[in-house]
Amino acid sequence: MENSIKAICNTSTYLDKYHSNTNFSNNESLLVGSINNRSLGNNRYISLLNFQLSELSPDSIKKAYLYLFIEDIKPEYKNSFGFGILGNYSNVDIAAIDWSSLPKKDYTKLLNHIIHGYNVGYYLKINVTSLIRSLATHNESYNIFLLPQNQDSNSIIKLSSFESKYPPYLDIITYNIDSKNNIDLSEELNIETYIEEPVEENTYDDEETETNNSEDISTSKESSNVERDSVKNQEEVTLINHLLNKVMEILVNQDLKLNSSNESLSEEISSLSNKLANIDDKISSLDENSTNLKQNDIKTLNINMSSLNEILVNQDLKLNSLNSYSESLGQEINSLSNKVANIDDKISLLDENSTNLRQSDIETLNINISSLDEVLVNQDLKLNSLNSYNESLSEEISSLSSKLANIDDKISLLDEKFVSLKQNDIETLNINMSSLSNEILELKALLPNLSVNLESLKEAINDFTKAEKLDFSNLNSVSSQLLELSSDLNSLTKLIGSISVEPIN
């Protein structure tokens, strides 16, 4: 069993080199070809198609056909047109891409195809099996590029786009791998399908000649987007599936019969296609070299001649107006010439006056220069005297510098002597202070003994005065004096004890 998946183009656009930043995805038509312009050069048109297919493996694809509706071929005498078909693996946003952002890599092998004049107004069926198998190995987004086979063809084909009544679509025939899905894989993939009307085929389907894409089947305009009836319950769905299986079996059998009959006609049709292509080329060359004008060309020429006559009349009117304007300009030029002559006379007079004035100015300038020379001479004398004064000052400064150097030497010597003297004085002072410190220490040692002796003397005197009832007024005075002496000695002891002598560093 085989399944047929018919997928409508998801989006489409065409690009051209002249408008490299423009995307024409909203147009109802697509363009493929090239135009030569003398001033602008060669302009190329390419078309891009995108299809969304999920869960499709290369091994499940038996055949794949691309259907393109041919609207027109320009110019009309071009009865055939060759173009190439490429697939691209990149994630391309067809609605936003422009000429400058076209992918540079990830393309499939190029497939070539030829369109004939009798294909206009019909769907063109193209075998793209190898291209779809290559794209199926990468992702679910299938990008197909259509481009001119000859960049210097100077002809264009016009195709229907996704926005038109006859959009591009793919018809993919797959092997029945899973019996549960042998009804219609397009339902599982959620892809809109066409119910194709019977068409008259005038070419063949041959696996061996797939790379040349020599299938050339002109089909009638197919009706699209057939609405499916809603299923109310599971029994109706089962019945419909059963009927669809029967229909698919019948269609497959018919397709096999047609394929077997087409194989016998393929070679004849191929030779006829080649002969037709040669005839088309000869007719094209004859049309180009023909000197007889067609009736339409004569009418167009007459119209152009009429418009040219009108243009010539307008040009004559413009020339007349220009002549009158040139005459008025000539008069104005003569007037200006007279004015220029008067100005020249005035300039000559001014030159003479300026010459006289210049002579007097030169004499005055010479006088001023003479006085300036005298001033400069005086300035030179003053400068010479200043230079001599500067020289004497320089000598005095040199003498002072030498004297200052001598003074510095003497100061250095005195500093050395002062340092040596200071060191000697410090040593002497340290010795003296050491001896003084020793003497003070000895004095400190004597003072306590003296104080003790005085205290004992005081006690003895007090005992004596208590024991004897005699008049010892003198002794009392002596005792008081001794007390005073004792206090003085105590004060002296405290004072001496507070003194601490250290050597000078």
CA atoms within 13 A on the CB side of 82: 15
| pLDDT one digit per residue (tens) for the chain, 505 residues | 688 899 999 999 999 988 889 999 999 999 999 988 877 788 899 999 999 988 788 999 999 999 999 999 987 666 788 999 999 988 889 999 999 999 988 899 999 999 988 899 999 999 999 999 999 887 788 999 999 988 877 889 999 999 999 999 999 999 875 534 333 433 333 333 333 332 333 333 333 333 333 343 333 333 333 333 443 444 455 556 556 656 666 665 665 666 555 555 666 666 676 676 667 666 666 666 655 555 566 667 667 666 666 675 666 666 666 666 666 666 777 777 777 677 777 777 766 766 665 677 777 877 877 887 787 788 778 778 777 876 877 787 788 778 878 888 888 887 787 777 677 777 887 887 787 777 777 777 766 766 676 677 667 666 655 655 545 555 566 667 667 766 767 776 776 666 655 555 4
Q: Kindly state the DSSP code that residue 199 receives in the 8-state scheme.
A: -
- Pair of tokens at residue 424: 């000697």
Beta bridge partners of 144: 49, 87
Cβ pair 52, 170 in contact under 8 A: no
Cβ pair 194, 69 in contact under 8 A: no
Residue 107: helix, strand or coil by DSSP? strand
Cβ pair 116, 283 in contact under 8 A: no
Residue 5: helix, strand or coil by DSSP? strand
What pTM does this model have? 0.39
- Pair of tokens at residue 465: 């005065």
C-alpha 317/C-alpha 333 separation (Å) is: 24
| pLDDT value of residue 191 | 35
What type of residue sits at position 58?
P
Q: Dump the DSSP string for 449-470.
A: HHHHHHHHHHHHHHHHHHH--S
C-alpha 445/C-alpha 449 separation (Å) is: 7
Buried/exposed code over 344-357 (b: 16+ C-beta within 10 A; e: otherwise): eeeeeeeeeeeeee
Cβ pair 183, 244 in contact under 8 A: yes
What are the domain boundaries of the chain? 2-292, 416-498
What type of residue sits at position 338?
N
| pLDDT value of residue 384 | 81
| pLDDT value of residue 184 | 42
Q: Kindly state the DSSP code that residue 223 receives in the 8-state scheme.
A: P
Cβ pair 70, 79 in contact under 8 A: no
CA atoms within 13 A on the CB side of 112: 5
Cα–Cα nearest to 49, from 92, 18, 110: 92
C-alpha 147/C-alpha 24 separation (Å) is: 15
Q: Is 181 exposed, middle or buried (0-12, 13-18, 19+ CB in 10 A)?
A: middle
What type of residue sits at position 500?
S
**Strand (E) or helix (H) holding 419:** helix 295-467
Buried/exposed code over 420-456 (b: 16+ C-beta within 10 A; e: otherwise): eeeeeeeeeeeeeeeeeeeeeeeeeeebeeeeeebee
| pLDDT value of residue 204 | 31
Torsions phi, psi for 174 (to 5 deg)? -115, 155
- Pair of tokens at residue 349: 């007079």
